[in-house]
Structure 1
Amino acid sequence: MSRLIICLTLLMALPAHADGFISRLLNKPVPGGVAVLALGDAAAAPKVTYQGKRVLVVREEGRQWLAIVGIPLKTPTGQQSALVDGKAVGFKVGSKHYREQRITLKNTQQVNPNADNLKRIERELDEQNRAYAQFSPRQPSNLMFDKPVDGPLSSPFGVRRFFNGEERNPHAGLDFAVGAGTPIKAPAAGKVILVGDYFFNGRTVFVDHGQGLISMFCHMSKIDVKLGQELTRGGLIGRVGATGRATGPHMHWNVSLNDVRVDPAIFIGHFQP
Protein backbone atom coordinates (compact mmCIF):
# COMPACT_ATOMS: atom_id res chain seq x y z
CA MET A 1 0.00 0.00 0.00
CA SER A 2 2.81 2.42 0.92
CA ARG A 3 4.48 1.84 -2.48
CA LEU A 4 1.16 2.68 -4.21
CA ILE A 5 0.87 5.91 -2.23
CA ILE A 6 4.43 6.87 -3.20
CA CYS A 7 3.66 6.23 -6.91
CA LEU A 8 0.49 8.34 -6.79
CA THR A 9 2.36 11.15 -5.06
CA LEU A 10 5.01 11.14 -7.77
CA LEU A 11 2.35 11.25 -10.50
CA MET A 12 0.63 14.22 -8.86
CA ALA A 13 3.97 16.02 -8.70
CA LEU A 14 4.53 15.82 -12.47
CA PRO A 15 4.46 19.21 -14.24
CA ALA A 16 1.27 20.26 -16.04
CA HIS A 17 3.32 21.00 -19.19
CA ALA A 18 5.33 18.54 -21.21
CA ASP A 19 8.99 19.39 -20.69
CA GLY A 20 10.03 18.81 -24.27
CA PHE A 21 11.54 21.10 -26.89
CA ILE A 22 8.23 22.65 -28.00
CA SER A 23 7.27 23.57 -24.45
CA ARG A 24 10.68 25.04 -23.69
CA LEU A 25 10.52 27.12 -26.86
CA LEU A 26 6.88 28.24 -26.92
CA ASN A 27 5.41 28.10 -23.43
CA LYS A 28 5.28 31.81 -22.53
CA PRO A 29 1.84 32.13 -20.87
CA VAL A 30 1.49 35.91 -20.62
CA PRO A 31 -0.90 38.34 -22.33
CA GLY A 32 0.12 38.27 -25.99
CA GLY A 33 2.02 35.03 -25.43
CA VAL A 34 1.51 31.29 -25.85
CA ALA A 35 0.45 28.52 -23.47
CA VAL A 36 1.50 24.94 -24.23
CA LEU A 37 -0.87 22.39 -22.68
CA ALA A 38 0.00 18.70 -22.31
CA LEU A 39 -2.90 16.52 -23.51
CA GLY A 40 -1.75 12.93 -23.03
CA ASP A 41 -0.86 10.26 -25.57
CA ALA A 42 -4.21 9.14 -27.02
CA ALA A 43 -4.15 7.52 -30.46
CA ALA A 44 -6.04 10.40 -32.07
CA ALA A 45 -5.46 14.11 -31.67
CA PRO A 46 -7.80 15.75 -29.13
CA LYS A 47 -10.01 18.62 -30.31
CA VAL A 48 -9.15 21.81 -28.45
CA THR A 49 -10.87 25.21 -28.39
CA TYR A 50 -10.11 28.42 -26.51
CA GLN A 51 -12.61 31.25 -26.31
CA GLY A 52 -14.65 29.52 -29.00
CA LYS A 53 -11.78 29.18 -31.52
CA ARG A 54 -10.01 26.00 -32.68
CA VAL A 55 -6.50 25.54 -31.30
CA LEU A 56 -3.39 24.10 -32.92
CA VAL A 57 -2.63 20.56 -31.69
CA VAL A 58 0.67 18.82 -32.43
CA ARG A 59 2.37 15.65 -31.28
CA GLU A 60 5.90 16.11 -30.09
CA GLU A 61 8.06 13.29 -31.43
CA GLY A 62 8.11 10.42 -28.97
CA ARG A 63 5.89 12.34 -26.56
CA GLN A 64 2.28 13.37 -26.00
CA TRP A 65 -0.17 15.66 -27.76
CA LEU A 66 0.27 19.38 -27.11
CA ALA A 67 -2.15 22.28 -27.53
CA ILE A 68 -0.46 25.52 -28.65
CA VAL A 69 -2.77 28.28 -27.40
CA GLY A 70 -2.52 31.95 -28.38
CA ILE A 71 -3.38 34.29 -25.48
CA PRO A 72 -4.98 37.68 -26.33
CA LEU A 73 -3.01 40.77 -25.37
CA LYS A 74 -5.89 42.05 -23.18
CA THR A 75 -6.15 38.82 -21.14
CA PRO A 76 -6.01 39.49 -17.37
CA THR A 77 -3.50 37.61 -15.25
CA GLY A 78 -4.76 34.52 -13.46
CA GLN A 79 -6.55 31.33 -14.42
CA GLN A 80 -7.77 30.60 -17.96
CA SER A 81 -9.09 27.38 -19.44
CA ALA A 82 -9.31 25.66 -22.79
CA LEU A 83 -11.77 22.94 -23.76
CA VAL A 84 -10.17 19.60 -24.61
CA ASP A 85 -12.73 17.22 -26.12
CA GLY A 86 -15.33 19.26 -24.26
CA LYS A 87 -13.59 19.20 -20.86
CA ALA A 88 -11.96 22.24 -19.26
CA VAL A 89 -8.18 22.22 -18.87
CA GLY A 90 -6.82 25.14 -16.89
CA PHE A 91 -3.64 27.15 -17.26
CA LYS A 92 -2.29 30.24 -15.54
CA VAL A 93 -1.53 33.52 -17.30
CA GLY A 94 1.28 35.55 -15.80
CA SER A 95 2.00 39.27 -16.13
CA LYS A 96 4.10 41.18 -18.65
CA HIS A 97 4.76 44.91 -18.97
CA TYR A 98 4.68 46.46 -22.44
CA ARG A 99 6.35 49.81 -22.98
CA GLU A 100 5.05 52.86 -24.86
CA GLN A 101 6.07 54.22 -28.25
CA ARG A 102 5.32 57.72 -29.57
CA ILE A 103 5.32 58.29 -33.32
CA THR A 104 4.87 61.51 -35.31
CA LEU A 105 3.23 61.24 -38.72
CA LYS A 106 3.07 64.04 -41.30
CA ASN A 107 0.05 62.45 -43.01
CA THR A 108 -2.75 63.18 -40.52
CA GLN A 109 -5.11 60.90 -42.49
CA GLN A 110 -3.13 57.98 -41.06
CA VAL A 111 -4.12 59.14 -37.56
CA ASN A 112 -7.67 60.50 -38.06
CA PRO A 113 -8.94 59.24 -41.44
CA ASN A 114 -11.84 60.97 -43.22
CA ALA A 115 -15.16 59.22 -43.94
CA ASP A 116 -14.08 57.76 -47.30
CA ASN A 117 -10.86 56.37 -45.87
CA LEU A 118 -12.73 54.95 -42.88
CA LYS A 119 -14.98 52.98 -45.24
CA ARG A 120 -11.90 51.63 -46.99
CA ILE A 121 -10.24 50.76 -43.66
CA GLU A 122 -13.33 48.90 -42.41
CA ARG A 123 -13.57 46.92 -45.65
CA GLU A 124 -9.89 46.01 -45.55
CA LEU A 125 -9.99 45.12 -41.86
CA ASP A 126 -12.90 42.73 -42.47
CA GLU A 127 -10.95 41.05 -45.29
CA GLN A 128 -7.87 40.61 -43.12
CA ASN A 129 -9.85 39.38 -40.11
CA ARG A 130 -11.41 36.66 -42.27
CA ALA A 131 -7.90 35.54 -43.24
CA TYR A 132 -6.75 35.44 -39.61
CA ALA A 133 -9.83 33.36 -38.68
CA GLN A 134 -9.02 30.54 -41.13
CA PHE A 135 -8.24 27.11 -39.69
CA SER A 136 -6.83 24.61 -42.19
CA PRO A 137 -6.17 20.94 -41.35
CA ARG A 138 -2.56 21.03 -42.54
CA GLN A 139 0.13 20.28 -39.95
CA PRO A 140 2.74 23.04 -39.54
CA SER A 141 6.11 22.00 -40.98
CA ASN A 142 7.97 23.52 -38.03
CA LEU A 143 7.23 25.58 -34.92
CA MET A 144 10.71 27.00 -34.46
CA PHE A 145 10.59 29.63 -37.18
CA ASP A 146 13.38 31.18 -39.19
CA LYS A 147 13.69 34.98 -39.07
CA PRO A 148 11.91 36.33 -42.17
CA VAL A 149 14.79 38.76 -42.77
CA ASP A 150 18.41 38.86 -41.71
CA GLY A 151 18.55 41.90 -39.47
CA PRO A 152 18.17 43.22 -35.92
CA LEU A 153 14.83 43.43 -34.12
CA SER A 154 13.50 46.95 -33.64
CA SER A 155 9.96 47.75 -32.44
CA PRO A 156 8.74 44.81 -30.31
CA PHE A 157 5.31 43.24 -30.06
CA GLY A 158 2.69 44.71 -27.71
CA VAL A 159 4.05 48.25 -27.49
CA ARG A 160 1.36 50.83 -26.64
CA ARG A 161 1.46 53.22 -29.60
CA PHE A 162 0.67 56.92 -29.68
CA PHE A 163 0.43 58.56 -33.11
CA ASN A 164 0.72 62.37 -32.96
CA GLY A 165 -0.08 62.09 -29.24
CA GLU A 166 -3.23 59.96 -29.72
CA GLU A 167 -3.28 56.35 -28.48
CA ARG A 168 -4.15 53.70 -31.05
CA ASN A 169 -4.04 49.89 -31.10
CA PRO A 170 -0.93 48.24 -29.59
CA HIS A 171 1.77 47.02 -31.95
CA ALA A 172 0.48 43.63 -33.12
CA GLY A 173 3.71 42.37 -34.61
CA LEU A 174 7.49 42.47 -34.54
CA ASP A 175 9.61 44.87 -36.61
CA PHE A 176 13.06 44.29 -38.07
CA ALA A 177 15.41 47.19 -38.86
CA VAL A 178 16.40 46.40 -42.44
CA GLY A 179 16.66 48.45 -45.61
CA ALA A 180 14.28 48.78 -48.52
CA GLY A 181 14.48 45.89 -50.96
CA THR A 182 15.69 43.32 -48.40
CA PRO A 183 14.25 39.89 -49.32
CA ILE A 184 11.48 38.60 -47.02
CA LYS A 185 11.47 34.80 -46.69
CA ALA A 186 8.87 32.38 -45.34
CA PRO A 187 9.73 31.41 -41.73
CA ALA A 188 7.99 28.07 -42.32
CA ALA A 189 6.23 26.31 -45.18
CA GLY A 190 2.71 27.50 -45.91
CA LYS A 191 0.06 28.64 -48.37
CA VAL A 192 -0.56 32.24 -49.43
CA ILE A 193 -4.15 33.00 -48.37
CA LEU A 194 -4.33 36.77 -48.87
CA VAL A 195 -2.50 39.37 -50.93
CA GLY A 196 -3.43 43.05 -50.83
CA ASP A 197 -2.45 46.70 -50.76
CA TYR A 198 -4.07 48.27 -47.68
CA PHE A 199 -4.47 51.75 -46.19
CA PHE A 200 -2.53 51.05 -42.99
CA ASN A 201 -0.55 47.91 -43.87
CA GLY A 202 0.49 48.77 -47.40
CA ARG A 203 1.48 45.81 -49.58
CA THR A 204 0.63 42.75 -47.50
CA VAL A 205 0.83 38.94 -47.65
CA PHE A 206 -0.81 36.37 -45.34
CA VAL A 207 0.68 32.84 -45.15
CA ASP A 208 -1.20 29.93 -43.56
CA HIS A 209 1.25 27.52 -41.87
CA GLY A 210 -1.55 25.19 -40.69
CA GLN A 211 -4.20 24.85 -37.97
CA GLY A 212 -4.67 28.55 -37.35
CA LEU A 213 -0.95 29.39 -37.29
CA ILE A 214 -0.73 32.34 -39.69
CA SER A 215 1.97 34.86 -40.58
CA MET A 216 1.30 38.34 -41.96
CA PHE A 217 3.96 40.51 -43.62
CA CYS A 218 3.26 44.14 -44.50
CA HIS A 219 4.65 47.56 -45.60
CA MET A 220 6.34 45.69 -48.47
CA SER A 221 7.76 47.46 -51.53
CA LYS A 222 7.18 44.42 -53.74
CA ILE A 223 5.15 41.21 -53.51
CA ASP A 224 6.67 38.12 -55.16
CA VAL A 225 3.88 35.58 -54.52
CA LYS A 226 0.34 34.95 -55.74
CA LEU A 227 -2.85 33.98 -53.96
CA GLY A 228 -2.97 30.21 -53.39
CA GLN A 229 0.77 29.71 -53.91
CA GLU A 230 2.48 27.06 -51.79
CA LEU A 231 5.70 28.23 -50.16
CA THR A 232 8.57 26.16 -48.86
CA ARG A 233 10.48 27.22 -45.75
CA GLY A 234 12.77 30.04 -46.85
CA GLY A 235 10.72 30.76 -49.99
CA LEU A 236 10.73 34.37 -51.21
CA ILE A 237 7.62 36.35 -50.25
CA GLY A 238 8.59 39.87 -51.28
CA ARG A 239 10.78 42.85 -50.50
CA VAL A 240 10.96 45.23 -47.55
CA GLY A 241 9.44 48.67 -48.06
CA ALA A 242 7.58 51.53 -46.38
CA THR A 243 4.09 51.33 -47.91
CA GLY A 244 1.02 52.10 -45.82
CA ARG A 245 1.42 53.71 -42.39
CA ALA A 246 5.19 53.58 -41.99
CA THR A 247 7.78 56.20 -41.13
CA GLY A 248 10.50 54.40 -43.08
CA PRO A 249 11.50 51.02 -44.56
CA HIS A 250 11.28 48.08 -42.16
CA MET A 251 9.91 44.53 -42.05
CA HIS A 252 6.73 44.08 -39.98
CA TRP A 253 5.71 40.48 -39.14
CA ASN A 254 2.57 39.33 -37.35
CA VAL A 255 1.97 35.80 -36.01
CA SER A 256 -1.56 34.64 -35.23
CA LEU A 257 -2.73 31.55 -33.31
CA ASN A 258 -6.41 30.62 -32.91
CA ASP A 259 -7.21 34.08 -34.36
CA VAL A 260 -5.11 35.81 -31.67
CA ARG A 261 -2.09 37.96 -32.48
CA VAL A 262 0.87 36.78 -30.40
CA ASP A 263 4.51 37.79 -30.00
CA PRO A 264 6.48 36.53 -33.03
CA ALA A 265 9.69 36.72 -30.97
CA ILE A 266 8.55 33.56 -29.17
CA PHE A 267 8.85 31.52 -32.38
CA ILE A 268 12.42 32.61 -33.12
CA GLY A 269 13.78 32.25 -29.58
CA HIS A 270 13.93 35.99 -28.83
CA PHE A 271 11.11 36.36 -26.28
CA GLN A 272 11.78 38.92 -23.53
CA PRO A 273 9.81 38.34 -20.27
Structure 2
Amino acid sequence: MNRLLIAALFACLSLPVCAEGFITRLLNKPVPGGVAVVPLAEADTPARVRYQGKPVLTVREDDKRWIAIVGIPLTVKPGTEHIESDTGERLNFTVQPREYASQHITLRNQQQVNPDAARLKRIQRELEEQLEAYRQFSARQPSNLLFDRPVDGRLSSAFGLRRFFNGEERNPHSGLDFAVPTGTPIKAPAAGRVILVGDYFFNGKTVFVDHGQGLISMFCHLSAIDVKVGDEVVRGGHLGKVGATGRATGPHLHWNVSLNDARVDPAIFIGTFK
Protein backbone atom coordinates (compact mmCIF):
# COMPACT_ATOMS: atom_id res chain seq x y z
CA MET A 1 0.00 0.00 0.00
CA ASN A 2 2.82 2.41 0.91
CA ARG A 3 4.46 1.75 -2.45
CA LEU A 4 1.20 2.58 -4.21
CA LEU A 5 0.85 5.84 -2.28
CA ILE A 6 4.43 6.84 -3.06
CA ALA A 7 3.93 6.03 -6.74
CA ALA A 8 0.73 8.07 -6.83
CA LEU A 9 2.45 10.99 -5.15
CA PHE A 10 5.30 10.99 -7.66
CA ALA A 11 2.81 10.75 -10.53
CA CYS A 12 0.92 13.75 -9.20
CA LEU A 13 4.06 15.79 -8.73
CA SER A 14 5.05 15.12 -12.34
CA LEU A 15 1.87 16.81 -13.60
CA PRO A 16 1.70 20.62 -13.45
CA VAL A 17 -2.07 20.58 -12.94
CA CYS A 18 -1.58 18.97 -9.52
CA ALA A 19 0.12 22.14 -8.32
CA GLU A 20 -2.46 24.41 -9.92
CA GLY A 21 -5.56 25.73 -8.28
CA PHE A 22 -8.93 26.47 -9.84
CA ILE A 23 -8.12 30.05 -10.82
CA THR A 24 -4.90 29.05 -12.59
CA ARG A 25 -6.63 26.27 -14.52
CA LEU A 26 -9.43 28.65 -15.53
CA LEU A 27 -7.45 31.75 -16.46
CA ASN A 28 -3.90 30.79 -17.43
CA LYS A 29 -4.05 31.21 -21.22
CA PRO A 30 -0.76 33.05 -21.94
CA VAL A 31 -1.24 34.15 -25.55
CA PRO A 32 -1.51 37.61 -27.13
CA GLY A 33 -4.91 38.83 -25.97
CA GLY A 34 -4.89 36.23 -23.18
CA VAL A 35 -4.03 35.97 -19.49
CA ALA A 36 -0.95 34.73 -17.65
CA VAL A 37 -1.19 33.51 -14.06
CA VAL A 38 2.13 33.94 -12.26
CA PRO A 39 2.77 32.49 -8.74
CA LEU A 40 4.15 34.98 -6.23
CA ALA A 41 6.39 34.48 -3.21
CA GLU A 42 4.65 33.28 -0.04
CA ALA A 43 3.72 36.17 2.23
CA ASP A 44 0.93 37.36 4.53
CA THR A 45 0.10 40.12 2.07
CA PRO A 46 0.74 40.15 -1.67
CA ALA A 47 3.56 42.08 -3.27
CA ARG A 48 2.51 44.97 -5.49
CA VAL A 49 3.10 43.83 -9.05
CA ARG A 50 3.39 45.73 -12.34
CA TYR A 51 3.46 44.65 -15.98
CA GLN A 52 4.57 47.10 -18.64
CA GLY A 53 4.45 49.75 -15.93
CA LYS A 54 0.81 49.10 -14.99
CA PRO A 55 -0.54 47.61 -11.73
CA VAL A 56 -1.64 43.97 -11.84
CA LEU A 57 -4.46 42.07 -10.14
CA THR A 58 -3.31 39.80 -7.28
CA VAL A 59 -5.48 37.28 -5.42
CA ARG A 60 -5.11 34.30 -3.13
CA GLU A 61 -5.63 30.97 -4.84
CA ASP A 62 -7.29 28.23 -2.80
CA ASP A 63 -6.48 30.26 0.35
CA LYS A 64 -2.86 29.11 0.04
CA ARG A 65 -0.70 31.27 -2.20
CA TRP A 66 -0.75 34.63 -3.90
CA ILE A 67 -0.89 34.79 -7.67
CA ALA A 68 -0.68 37.63 -10.19
CA ILE A 69 -3.27 37.62 -12.98
CA VAL A 70 -1.78 39.45 -15.94
CA GLY A 71 -3.61 40.71 -19.02
CA ILE A 72 -1.51 40.36 -22.18
CA PRO A 73 -2.17 42.91 -24.96
CA LEU A 74 -2.86 41.62 -28.47
CA THR A 75 0.25 43.50 -29.63
CA VAL A 76 2.64 41.40 -27.50
CA LYS A 77 4.79 38.99 -29.50
CA PRO A 78 5.29 35.34 -28.44
CA GLY A 79 8.30 34.86 -26.18
CA THR A 80 9.42 35.69 -22.65
CA GLU A 81 7.70 38.50 -20.75
CA HIS A 82 8.07 39.48 -17.09
CA ILE A 83 6.34 41.18 -14.20
CA GLU A 84 8.10 43.17 -11.48
CA SER A 85 7.20 43.37 -7.79
CA ASP A 86 7.79 46.21 -5.34
CA THR A 87 10.32 43.94 -3.62
CA GLY A 88 12.49 44.09 -6.74
CA GLU A 89 11.65 40.55 -7.80
CA ARG A 90 11.37 39.88 -11.54
CA LEU A 91 9.18 36.94 -12.55
CA ASN A 92 9.15 35.61 -16.11
CA PHE A 93 6.31 34.00 -18.03
CA THR A 94 6.12 32.71 -21.58
CA VAL A 95 3.65 34.02 -24.16
CA GLN A 96 2.59 31.31 -26.60
CA PRO A 97 1.70 32.03 -30.26
CA ARG A 98 -1.93 32.35 -31.34
CA GLU A 99 -3.41 33.08 -34.75
CA TYR A 100 -6.65 35.04 -35.13
CA ALA A 101 -9.01 34.85 -38.10
CA SER A 102 -10.20 37.77 -40.25
CA GLN A 103 -13.69 39.25 -40.54
CA HIS A 104 -14.97 41.42 -43.41
CA ILE A 105 -17.87 43.78 -42.68
CA THR A 106 -19.75 46.01 -45.13
CA LEU A 107 -21.20 49.29 -43.82
CA ARG A 108 -23.56 51.52 -45.78
CA ASN A 109 -22.54 54.59 -43.77
CA GLN A 110 -19.10 55.53 -45.11
CA GLN A 111 -18.66 57.97 -42.20
CA GLN A 112 -18.36 54.93 -39.92
CA VAL A 113 -15.36 53.79 -41.99
CA ASN A 114 -13.63 57.10 -42.80
CA PRO A 115 -15.16 59.83 -40.60
CA ASP A 116 -14.78 63.50 -41.54
CA ALA A 117 -12.71 65.97 -39.50
CA ALA A 118 -15.56 67.02 -37.21
CA ARG A 119 -16.44 63.44 -36.36
CA LEU A 120 -12.75 62.55 -35.87
CA LYS A 121 -12.53 65.26 -33.21
CA ARG A 122 -15.52 63.75 -31.42
CA ILE A 123 -14.08 60.23 -31.76
CA GLN A 124 -10.75 61.29 -30.25
CA ARG A 125 -12.47 62.98 -27.30
CA GLU A 126 -14.60 59.90 -26.67
CA LEU A 127 -11.59 57.58 -27.01
CA GLU A 128 -9.65 59.47 -24.33
CA GLU A 129 -12.65 59.27 -21.99
CA GLN A 130 -12.91 55.52 -22.42
CA LEU A 131 -9.15 54.89 -22.17
CA GLU A 132 -9.18 56.74 -18.85
CA ALA A 133 -11.86 54.32 -17.61
CA TYR A 134 -9.82 51.30 -18.70
CA ARG A 135 -6.81 52.65 -16.76
CA GLN A 136 -8.64 52.78 -13.43
CA PHE A 137 -7.32 50.50 -10.67
CA SER A 138 -9.39 50.17 -7.49
CA ALA A 139 -8.47 48.29 -4.33
CA ARG A 140 -11.57 46.07 -4.29
CA GLN A 141 -11.20 42.32 -4.82
CA PRO A 142 -13.29 40.87 -7.66
CA SER A 143 -16.34 39.01 -6.34
CA ASN A 144 -15.75 36.14 -8.78
CA LEU A 145 -13.32 35.30 -11.57
CA LEU A 146 -15.48 32.68 -13.26
CA PHE A 147 -17.83 35.17 -14.88
CA ASP A 148 -21.46 34.72 -15.83
CA ARG A 149 -22.43 35.42 -19.42
CA PRO A 150 -23.98 38.89 -19.62
CA VAL A 151 -26.65 37.54 -22.00
CA ASP A 152 -27.76 34.11 -23.13
CA GLY A 153 -27.36 33.93 -26.88
CA ARG A 154 -25.31 32.86 -29.86
CA LEU A 155 -21.73 34.08 -30.13
CA SER A 156 -21.57 35.95 -33.46
CA SER A 157 -18.00 37.34 -33.40
CA ALA A 158 -15.04 36.03 -31.44
CA PHE A 159 -12.29 38.03 -29.78
CA GLY A 160 -9.17 39.04 -31.73
CA LEU A 161 -10.60 38.95 -35.25
CA ARG A 162 -8.70 41.09 -37.74
CA ARG A 163 -11.47 43.41 -38.91
CA PHE A 164 -11.94 44.90 -42.36
CA PHE A 165 -14.67 47.51 -42.84
CA ASN A 166 -15.55 47.99 -46.53
CA GLY A 167 -12.22 46.37 -47.35
CA GLU A 168 -10.14 48.62 -45.05
CA GLU A 169 -8.36 47.08 -42.05
CA ARG A 170 -9.11 48.57 -38.64
CA ASN A 171 -8.34 47.59 -35.03
CA PRO A 172 -8.85 43.90 -34.11
CA HIS A 173 -12.09 42.90 -32.44
CA SER A 174 -11.54 43.57 -28.74
CA GLY A 175 -14.40 41.58 -27.23
CA LEU A 176 -17.15 39.04 -27.80
CA ASP A 177 -20.34 39.74 -29.75
CA PHE A 178 -23.58 38.00 -28.79
CA ALA A 179 -26.38 38.00 -31.36
CA VAL A 180 -29.52 38.60 -29.30
CA PRO A 181 -32.66 40.66 -29.96
CA THR A 182 -33.05 44.33 -29.16
CA GLY A 183 -34.30 44.79 -25.61
CA THR A 184 -32.61 41.68 -24.18
CA PRO A 185 -31.61 42.44 -20.55
CA ILE A 186 -27.85 42.64 -19.87
CA LYS A 187 -26.56 41.21 -16.57
CA ALA A 188 -23.35 42.05 -14.74
CA PRO A 189 -20.98 39.03 -15.01
CA ALA A 190 -19.54 39.92 -11.59
CA ALA A 191 -20.23 42.53 -8.93
CA GLY A 192 -18.75 45.96 -9.47
CA ARG A 193 -19.14 49.71 -9.64
CA VAL A 194 -20.32 51.64 -12.69
CA ILE A 195 -17.48 54.01 -13.63
CA LEU A 196 -18.59 55.36 -17.01
CA VAL A 197 -21.69 55.60 -19.16
CA GLY A 198 -21.96 57.35 -22.50
CA ASP A 199 -23.35 57.44 -26.02
CA TYR A 200 -20.38 57.23 -28.38
CA PHE A 201 -19.85 57.47 -32.15
CA PHE A 202 -18.55 53.93 -32.61
CA ASN A 203 -19.77 52.14 -29.45
CA GLY A 204 -23.20 53.71 -29.14
CA LYS A 205 -24.76 53.52 -25.68
CA THR A 206 -22.03 52.13 -23.41
CA VAL A 207 -21.50 51.05 -19.79
CA PHE A 208 -18.18 50.41 -17.99
CA VAL A 209 -18.14 48.33 -14.77
CA ASP A 210 -15.09 48.11 -12.47
CA HIS A 211 -14.92 44.64 -10.91
CA GLY A 212 -11.75 45.46 -8.94
CA GLN A 213 -7.99 45.81 -9.34
CA GLY A 214 -7.99 46.75 -13.01
CA LEU A 215 -10.54 44.09 -14.05
CA ILE A 216 -13.13 46.03 -16.04
CA SER A 217 -16.06 45.09 -18.28
CA MET A 218 -17.39 47.27 -21.09
CA PHE A 219 -20.79 46.72 -22.72
CA CYS A 220 -21.79 48.65 -25.84
CA HIS A 221 -24.34 49.12 -28.67
CA LEU A 222 -27.07 49.20 -26.01
CA SER A 223 -30.60 50.40 -26.73
CA ALA A 224 -31.03 51.55 -23.12
CA ILE A 225 -28.76 52.19 -20.12
CA ASP A 226 -30.38 51.46 -16.77
CA VAL A 227 -27.53 52.42 -14.42
CA LYS A 228 -25.56 55.58 -13.67
CA VAL A 229 -21.99 56.36 -12.67
CA GLY A 230 -21.35 55.40 -9.05
CA ASP A 231 -23.97 52.64 -8.91
CA GLU A 232 -22.90 49.42 -7.20
CA VAL A 233 -24.16 46.39 -9.11
CA VAL A 234 -24.36 42.84 -7.80
CA ARG A 235 -23.43 39.77 -9.79
CA GLY A 236 -26.34 39.24 -12.18
CA GLY A 237 -27.56 42.80 -11.64
CA HIS A 238 -29.33 44.59 -14.50
CA LEU A 239 -27.23 47.05 -16.54
CA GLY A 240 -29.31 47.87 -19.58
CA LYS A 241 -30.75 46.41 -22.77
CA VAL A 242 -29.23 45.12 -26.01
CA GLY A 243 -29.50 47.33 -29.09
CA ALA A 244 -27.74 48.38 -32.29
CA THR A 245 -26.49 51.89 -31.49
CA GLY A 246 -23.14 53.17 -32.79
CA ARG A 247 -21.28 51.25 -35.49
CA ALA A 248 -23.44 48.11 -35.62
CA THR A 249 -25.01 46.18 -38.48
CA GLY A 250 -27.74 44.73 -36.28
CA PRO A 251 -28.76 44.17 -32.66
CA HIS A 252 -26.10 42.49 -30.55
CA LEU A 253 -24.12 42.91 -27.35
CA HIS A 254 -20.41 43.66 -27.57
CA TRP A 255 -18.63 42.78 -24.29
CA ASN A 256 -15.04 43.73 -23.54
CA VAL A 257 -12.93 42.54 -20.61
CA SER A 258 -9.89 44.63 -19.71
CA LEU A 259 -7.15 43.58 -17.29
CA ASN A 260 -4.30 45.96 -16.33
CA ASP A 261 -5.46 48.12 -19.28
CA ALA A 262 -5.10 45.24 -21.78
CA ARG A 263 -8.17 44.05 -23.66
CA VAL A 264 -8.29 40.26 -23.24
CA ASP A 265 -10.53 37.46 -24.46
CA PRO A 266 -13.73 37.34 -22.34
CA ALA A 267 -14.10 33.67 -23.32
CA ILE A 268 -11.32 32.92 -20.80
CA PHE A 269 -13.48 34.21 -17.94
CA ILE A 270 -16.57 32.22 -18.91
CA GLY A 271 -14.66 28.98 -19.46
CA THR A 272 -15.13 28.74 -23.24
CA PHE A 273 -11.63 29.66 -24.47
CA LYS A 274 -10.37 27.39 -27.25
**1:105, 1:119 → 2: CA distance?**
21
> Cα gap change, 1:165/1:185 in structure 2, threshold over 3 Å: closer, same or farther?
same
**1:20, 1:105 → 2: CA distance?**
45
- Asked if structure 2 preserves the Cα contact closer than 8 Å seen for 1:57 and 1:68, the reply is yes
Q: Aligned AA for 2:209?
A: V
Q: Quote the residue 2:6 is aligned against.
A: none
- Following superposition, the deviation at residue 84 of structure 1 comes to 2.1
Q: Aligned AA for 1:138?
A: R
Q: Quote the residue 2:182 is aligned against.
A: 180
Q: Quote the residue 1:53 is aligned against.
A: 54
Gaps of 5+ in 2: 1-12
Q: Aligned AA for 2:54?
A: K
**2:240, 2:121 → 1: CA distance?**
28
Q: Quote the residue 2:148 is aligned against.
A: 146
- Asked if structure 2 preserves the Cα contact closer than 8 Å seen for 1:103 and 1:161, the reply is yes
Which of 158, 167, 170 is the matching residue for 1:168?
170
Give 4+ residue runs of structure 1 displaced > 6 Å after superposition. none
Query: What does the per-residue CA deviation read over 1:19-46, in whole Å, with 9 as the maximum and x for residues that have no partner?
Result: 0000000000000000000113310111
- Asked if structure 2 preserves the Cα contact closer than 8 Å seen for 1:16 and 1:38, the reply is no
**1:62, 1:156 → 2: CA distance?**
33
1:29 equivalent to 2:25? Answer no
**1:193, 1:62 → 2: CA distance?**
30
- Following superposition, the deviation at residue 62 of structure 1 comes to 2.6
> Cα gap change, 1:61/1:242 in structure 2, threshold over 3 Å: closer, same or farther?
same
- Asked if structure 1 preserves the Cα contact closer than 8 Å seen for 2:17 and 2:25, the reply is no
Query: What does the per-residue CA deviation read over 1:109-141, in whole Å, with 9 as the maximum and x for residues that have no partner?
Result: 000000000000000000000000000000000
Query: What does the per-residue CA deviation read over 1:178-213, in whole Å, with 9 as the maximum and x for residues that have no partner?
Result: 111100000000000000000000000000000000
- Asked if structure 2 preserves the Cα contact closer than 8 Å seen for 1:158 and 1:171, the reply is yes
**2:166, 2:41 → 1: CA distance?**
50
Question: SS at 1:154's partner residue?
Answer: strand
Give TM-score scaled by structure 1 length.
Answer: 0.93
**2:82, 2:103 → 1: CA distance?**
32
Question: SS at 2:24's partner residue?
Answer: helix
- Following superposition, the deviation at residue 152 of structure 1 comes to 1.8
**1:27, 1:18 → 2: CA distance?**
13
**1:139, 1:14 → 2: CA distance?**
30
Q: Percent identity?
A: 70
Q: Quote the residue 1:236 is aligned against.
A: 238
- Asked if structure 2 preserves the Cα contact closer than 8 Å seen for 1:17 and 1:37, the reply is no
**2:139, 2:196 → 1: CA distance?**
18
**1:27, 1:21 → 2: CA distance?**
10
Q: Quote the residue 1:198 is aligned against.
A: 200
**1:18, 1:43 → 2: CA distance?**
20
- Asked if structure 1 preserves the Cα contact closer than 8 Å seen for 2:223 and 2:243, the reply is yes
Gaps of 5+ in 1: 1-11
- Asked if structure 1 preserves the Cα contact closer than 8 Å seen for 2:22 and 2:62, the reply is no
**1:44, 1:67 → 2: CA distance?**
13
Query: What does the per-residue CA deviation read over 1:67-90, in whole Å, with 9 as the maximum and x for residues that have no partner?
Result: 000001011101000002322100
Give TM-score scaled by structure 2 length.
Answer: 0.93
Q: Quote the residue 1:41 is aligned against.
A: 42
RMSD: 1.6
Q: Aligned AA for 2:107?
A: L
Q: Aligned AA for 2:262?
A: V
- Asked if structure 2 preserves the Cα contact closer than 8 Å seen for 1:16 and 1:37, the reply is no
Q: Quote the residue 1:91 is aligned against.
A: 93
Q: Quote the residue 1:128 is aligned against.
A: 130
- Asked if structure 1 preserves the Cα contact closer than 8 Å seen for 2:179 and 2:253, the reply is yes
Q: Aligned AA for 1:70?
A: G
**1:152, 1:27 → 2: CA distance?**
25
- Following superposition, the deviation at residue 16 of structure 1 comes to 11
Paired positions, count: 262
Q: Quote the residue 1:7 is aligned against.
A: none
> Cα gap change, 1:265/1:96 in structure 2, threshold over 3 Å: closer, same or farther?
same
Q: Aligned AA for 1:71?
A: I
**2:205, 2:179 → 1: CA distance?**
18
